[in-house]
């Protein structure tokens, strides 16, 4: 993953502290007394559905939230699945891009309400929340350019999930809604913190406080959505939504994997670190591409950028 790959090139500062936490396997391990194995066991008690990963030769993987009979709600075992898929992606050295989608034409309806009812005590709720914060923080920090493909509905935790990608595409009939207020909740999977960074605090407060239904137009207007795809049924001859999402993503992942992954790393450090630390990190990442094969090949070809 991004942090693992940078381990050798940085030994101080904020990243170092993050690296130490990551090395212990969890974003929260040094913040809360958080026993990941304990919560994993509790989550496995609520089975159903799966989170499926397809790694393609193109360097673009597809992660599918798959529980169609419950509108792709996250069962407990799917939360564990998600964390395991993120680990697989962290270890995928050739990867460049990631598309996160829901199965059967809808994105994700959040937590499985059956599991939510069964673990409604605050202690277990907070453990689940820390587990998902960890998995989604690591998803966002992957050295892959990631895009959420939103078809149908993204509700509650489903809306939080899409904020853990670099970009969001919506099909024209799709809807994003942070319904937490209607459930007597606020986001807990890190969705509020990420939303503020994407749309700013004013818009984030409107979306959370009003449980506003965000269609593709509003999504584009406030910067939550990066592109709109026609619904599959409205389109003939231009492929499925997934194919169109792959086509949209292709311009950002075209080229050698080390360069694309380096681009994600410098953006990530710019987004997450104080300037001095980000500059140090940028220098370290720069050192991994300067004089490397892609750089030497470009110099030898005397390329022009017309």
Q: Which residues bind ligand 1VU (CB under 6 A)?
A: 70-71, 73, 109-114, 116, 153, 155-157, 179-180, 183, 185
Which residue number, 26 or 179, has a Cβ lying nearer to ligand 1VU? 179
Which residue number, 68 or 256, has a Cβ lying nearer to ligand 1VU? 68
Which residue number, 22 or 72, has a Cβ lying nearer to ligand 1VU? 72
The CB-side HSE value for 171 (13 A sphere, CA atoms) comes to 25
Least distance in Å: CB of 246 to ligand 1VU? 26
For 4, residues 6+ apart whose C-beta sits below 8 A from its C-beta are: 22, 90
SS3 (DSSP) at 305 = coil
SS3 (DSSP) at 251 = helix
With contact defined as beta carbons under 8 Å apart, do 165 and 146 qualify? Answer: yes
For 226, residues 6+ apart whose C-beta sits below 8 A from its C-beta are: 147, 167, 168, 169
Which residue number, 97 or 190, has a Cβ lying nearer to ligand 1VU? 190
Q: What is the DSSP letter of 74?
A: B
- In a 10 Å sphere around its CB, with 0-12 CB exposed, 13-18 middle and 19+ buried, how is residue 55 labelled? middle
Least distance in Å: CB of 55 to ligand 1VU? 28
Residue nearest to ligand 1VU (CB): 110
Least distance in Å: CB of 180 to ligand 1VU? 6
Least distance in Å: CB of 216 to ligand 1VU? 17
CA distances from 168 to 182, 209, 229, 300 (A): 24, 22, 11, 37
Which residue number, 112 or 246, has a Cβ lying nearer to ligand 1VU? 112
With contact defined as beta carbons under 8 Å apart, do 10 and 16 qualify? Answer: yes
Least distance in Å: CB of 30 to ligand 1VU? 25
Least distance in Å: CB of 75 to ligand 1VU? 8
With tokens 């795809």, the residue in question is 229
Which residue number, 9 or 172, has a Cβ lying nearer to ligand 1VU? 172
With contact defined as beta carbons under 8 Å apart, do 107 and 154 qualify? Answer: yes
Least distance in Å: CB of 240 to ligand 1VU? 21
* Pairing assessment for the beta strands 213-214 and 175-177 based on DSSP bridges: antiparallel
Extended strands (E) in 156-212: 167-171, 175-177
Which residue number, 157 or 258, has a Cβ lying nearer to ligand 1VU? 157
């Amino acid at each position: 993953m991004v942090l693992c790959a940078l381990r050798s090139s940085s030994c101080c500062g904020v990243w170092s502290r993050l690296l130490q936490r990551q090395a212990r396997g969890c974003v929260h391990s040094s913040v809360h007394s958080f026993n990941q194995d304990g919560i994993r066991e509790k989550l496995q008690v609520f089975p159903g559905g799966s989170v499926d990963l397809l790694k393609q030769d193109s360097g673009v993987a597809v992660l599918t939230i798959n529980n169609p009979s419950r509108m792709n709600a996250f069962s407990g075992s799917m939360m564990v699945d998600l964390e395991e898929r993120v680990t697989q992606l962290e270890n995928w050295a050739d990867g460049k891009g990631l598309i996160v989608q829901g199965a059967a034409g809808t994105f994700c309806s959040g937590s499985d309400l059956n599991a939510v009812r069964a673990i409604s005590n605050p202690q277990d709720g907070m453990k689940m929340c820390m587990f998902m914060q960890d998995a989604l923080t690591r998803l966002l920090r992957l050295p892959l350019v990631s895009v959420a493909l939103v078809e149908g509905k993204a509700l509650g935790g489903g809306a939080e999930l899409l904020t853990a990608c670099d970009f969001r595409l919506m099909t024209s009939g799709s809807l994003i809604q942070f319904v937490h207020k209607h459930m007597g909740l606020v986001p807990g999977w890190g969705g509020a913190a990420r939303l503020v960074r994407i749309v700013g605090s004013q818009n984030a407060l409107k979306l959370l406080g009003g449980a506003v239904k965000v269609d593709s137009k509003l999504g584009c207007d406030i910067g939550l959505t990066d592109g709109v795809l026609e619904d599959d049924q409205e389109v003939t001859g231009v492929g499925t939504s997934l194919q169109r999402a792959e086509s949209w993503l292709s311009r950002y992942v075209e080229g050698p994997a080390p360069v694309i992954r380096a681009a994600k790393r410098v953006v990530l450090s710019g987004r997450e670190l104080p300037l001095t630390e980000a500059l140090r990190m940028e220098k370290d990442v720069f050192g991994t591409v300067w004089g490397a094969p892609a750089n030497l090949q470009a110099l030898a070809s005397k390329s022009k950028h017309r």
